[in-house]
Amino acid sequence: MKIELRPIGYVHSELKDPSDCPIQPSFSEHVGEIEVLDEYVEGLRDLDGFSHITLVFYFDRVKSFDLLTYPYLDDKKRGVFATRTPRRPNPVGLSVLQILNIEGNRIKVKGIDILDNTPVLDIKPFVPGFVESYDQVKISWLSDKIRIAAYSRKTQSRE
């Protein structure tokens, strides 16, 4: 089976190097733009009524992967599918971003955690009830680490 994907646009951000990137959109205050290619602009109709999008993109600078990896927030090797590392067998990323405005073929967004010129594969409206309606969610090895990271982020924003 052959799978072919074509970019529908590109991310424009101030993030030029992987070391510049926040670990997730919820840890980012960066503003950027999604430039949608002309042939897909009509598909943006009605998106301006949403506050957030889920951006599906291709980690085009990832050249290899490991099935076991050291994830951010941990010093123990974990299975790649139990992490959110970009170094994956199919390097596809997802970010939920806040829409600031839409003008023509450009969506200005907040929460960018994506490198400049990253190819965009799809844009979906973020609908909380569709993706976060689970009553009991478990997050395994991340549970304590997320609380620590969130606390650290709050205390840093107060400084």
More confident residue, 48 or 141: 48
Residue 148: its H or E element: helix 143-158
Residue 76 sits in which domain range?
Answer: 9-158
Mean pLDDT, residues 81-110 taken together: 94
Q: What is the CATH number of the domain that holds 73?
A: 2.40.30.70
Instruction: Tell me the Ramachandran region of residue 73: left when phi exceeds 0, alpha when psi lies from -120 to 50, beta otherwise.
Output: left
- Please give the tally of structural domains in the chain: 1
Give the gyration radius of the chain's Cα atoms.
17
| Entry pTM | 0.81
Specify if 4 maps to a domain: no
Specify if 140 maps to a domain: yes
pLDDT exceeds cutoff 70 at 152: no
Specify if 118 maps to a domain: yes
